[in-house]
Structure 1
Protein backbone atom coordinates (compact mmCIF):
# COMPACT_ATOMS: atom_id res chain seq x y z
CA UNK A 1 0.00 0.00 0.00
CA UNK A 2 1.36 3.45 -0.89
CA UNK A 3 1.59 6.27 1.66
CA UNK A 4 -1.26 8.14 -0.09
CA UNK A 5 -3.50 5.11 0.43
CA UNK A 6 -2.74 4.98 4.16
CA UNK A 7 -2.84 8.75 4.77
CA UNK A 8 -5.70 10.27 6.70
CA UNK A 9 -8.56 11.46 4.47
CA UNK A 10 -11.25 12.61 6.96
CA UNK A 11 -11.30 14.39 10.34
CA UNK A 12 -14.70 13.81 12.02
CA UNK A 13 -13.16 14.70 15.39
CA UNK A 14 -12.88 18.34 14.24
CA UNK A 15 -16.63 18.96 14.07
CA UNK A 16 -17.47 21.82 16.50
CA UNK A 17 -13.80 22.88 16.81
CA UNK A 18 -12.50 26.32 15.87
CA UNK A 19 -11.26 27.01 12.36
CA UNK A 20 -7.77 27.49 13.76
CA UNK A 21 -7.84 24.12 15.54
CA UNK A 22 -9.15 22.39 12.43
CA UNK A 23 -6.52 23.93 10.15
CA UNK A 24 -3.70 23.10 12.57
CA UNK A 25 -4.81 19.47 12.94
CA UNK A 26 -5.23 18.90 9.21
CA UNK A 27 -1.82 20.49 8.52
CA UNK A 28 -0.23 18.37 11.26
CA UNK A 29 -1.70 15.19 9.80
CA UNK A 30 -1.37 16.07 6.11
CA UNK A 31 1.02 18.98 5.41
CA UNK A 32 0.77 18.13 1.72
CA UNK A 33 -2.84 19.38 1.46
CA UNK A 34 -4.17 22.80 0.53
CA UNK A 35 -6.83 23.90 3.04
CA UNK A 36 -9.86 25.96 1.99
CA UNK A 37 -12.19 27.46 4.61
CA UNK A 38 -15.65 27.74 3.04
CA UNK A 39 -18.90 29.17 4.44
CA UNK A 40 -21.77 26.67 4.31
CA UNK A 41 -23.99 27.56 1.36
CA UNK A 42 -21.16 28.94 -0.75
CA UNK A 43 -21.09 27.58 -4.29
CA UNK A 44 -17.91 25.64 -5.00
CA UNK A 45 -16.62 23.61 -7.91
CA UNK A 46 -17.55 19.94 -7.82
CA UNK A 47 -14.33 18.47 -9.18
CA UNK A 48 -12.42 16.11 -6.93
CA UNK A 49 -8.99 17.41 -5.91
CA UNK A 50 -6.91 14.93 -3.92
CA UNK A 51 -4.64 17.79 -2.81
CA UNK A 52 -7.41 19.87 -1.19
CA UNK A 53 -9.48 19.65 1.98
CA UNK A 54 -12.41 21.99 2.61
CA UNK A 55 -13.33 23.10 6.12
CA UNK A 56 -17.01 24.06 6.06
CA UNK A 57 -18.09 26.69 8.62
CA UNK A 58 -21.47 28.15 9.52
CA UNK A 59 -21.20 29.75 12.95
CA UNK A 60 -21.47 33.45 13.71
CA UNK A 61 -18.58 34.11 16.10
CA UNK A 62 -19.41 37.66 17.19
CA UNK A 63 -22.53 39.79 17.42
CA UNK A 64 -23.20 41.50 14.09
CA UNK A 65 -23.37 45.26 14.67
CA UNK A 66 -23.33 48.54 12.79
CA UNK A 67 -20.12 50.49 12.77
Structure 2
Protein backbone atom coordinates (compact mmCIF):
# COMPACT_ATOMS: atom_id res chain seq x y z
CA UNK A 1 0.00 0.00 0.00
CA UNK A 2 2.73 2.48 0.88
CA UNK A 3 5.77 2.93 -1.29
CA UNK A 4 7.94 3.71 1.70
CA UNK A 5 7.69 7.47 1.21
CA UNK A 6 4.87 8.10 3.68
CA UNK A 7 1.15 7.74 3.99
CA UNK A 8 -0.92 6.51 1.07
CA UNK A 9 -4.47 7.06 2.39
CA UNK A 10 -6.23 9.42 4.79
CA UNK A 11 -9.37 7.86 6.34
CA UNK A 12 -9.23 10.41 9.17
CA UNK A 13 -10.24 13.28 6.86
CA UNK A 14 -13.59 11.80 5.78
CA UNK A 15 -16.28 14.30 6.80
CA UNK A 16 -13.90 17.26 7.02
CA UNK A 17 -14.26 20.32 4.78
CA UNK A 18 -12.23 19.97 1.58
CA UNK A 19 -9.67 22.66 2.45
CA UNK A 20 -8.97 21.19 5.91
CA UNK A 21 -8.50 17.75 4.36
CA UNK A 22 -6.17 19.17 1.70
CA UNK A 23 -4.00 20.85 4.34
CA UNK A 24 -3.80 17.63 6.40
CA UNK A 25 -2.78 15.58 3.36
CA UNK A 26 -0.15 18.15 2.33
CA UNK A 27 1.20 18.26 5.90
CA UNK A 28 1.72 14.48 5.74
CA UNK A 29 2.87 14.36 2.11
CA UNK A 30 4.10 17.71 0.77
CA UNK A 31 5.37 15.87 -2.32
CA UNK A 32 1.88 15.15 -3.72
CA UNK A 33 -0.65 17.17 -5.69
CA UNK A 34 -4.10 17.23 -4.06
CA UNK A 35 -7.01 17.39 -6.50
CA UNK A 36 -10.48 18.18 -5.10
CA UNK A 37 -13.40 16.84 -7.16
CA UNK A 38 -17.14 16.34 -6.67
CA UNK A 39 -18.26 12.74 -6.06
CA UNK A 40 -19.11 11.12 -9.39
CA UNK A 41 -16.59 13.13 -11.42
CA UNK A 42 -15.11 11.43 -14.45
CA UNK A 43 -11.41 10.81 -13.87
CA UNK A 44 -8.60 9.12 -15.75
CA UNK A 45 -7.70 5.59 -14.70
CA UNK A 46 -3.90 5.82 -14.78
CA UNK A 47 -2.08 5.52 -11.46
CA UNK A 48 -0.08 8.59 -10.42
CA UNK A 49 1.99 8.14 -7.24
CA UNK A 50 2.20 11.92 -6.81
CA UNK A 51 -1.58 12.58 -6.87
CA UNK A 52 -4.28 12.37 -4.21
CA UNK A 53 -7.87 12.81 -5.31
CA UNK A 54 -10.26 14.16 -2.68
CA UNK A 55 -13.91 13.53 -3.53
CA UNK A 56 -16.37 15.89 -1.88
CA UNK A 57 -20.14 15.83 -1.40
CA UNK A 58 -22.43 18.77 -2.32
CA UNK A 59 -21.80 20.34 1.12
CA UNK A 60 -18.06 20.49 0.35
CA UNK A 61 -17.05 17.78 2.82
CA UNK A 62 -14.85 14.77 2.07
CA UNK A 63 -17.09 11.86 1.07
CA UNK A 64 -14.54 9.07 0.40
CA UNK A 65 -11.16 8.09 1.79
CA UNK A 66 -8.54 10.04 -0.19
CA UNK A 67 -5.65 7.90 -1.42
CA UNK A 68 -2.57 8.04 -3.58
CA UNK A 69 -3.25 7.35 -7.21
Asked if Structure 1 and Structure 2 have the same fold, meaning a TM-score greater than 0.5 normalized by the shorter chain, the answer is: yes
Structure having the larger proportion of residues in helix: 1
The alignment yields a C-alpha RMSD, in angstroms, of 1.3
Rounded to whole Å, the distance in 1 between the matches of 2:5 and 2:32 is 15
Q: TM-score scaled to structure 2, two decimals?
A: 0.77
**Which ranges in structure 1 are unaligned for 5 or more consecutive residues?**
62-67
- Matched with 2:63 is none
Q: Larger relative CO (CA 8 A, sep 6+): 1 or 2?
A: 2
Rounded to whole Å, the distance in 1 between the matches of 2:57 and 2:23 is 19
Q: TM-score scaled to structure 1, two decimals?
A: 0.79
Moved over 4 A (4+): none
Q: Aligned residue pairs: how many?
A: 58
Kindly state the Cα deviation for residue 60 of structure 1 after the two structures are TM-superposed. 2.9
Bigger Cα Rg: 1
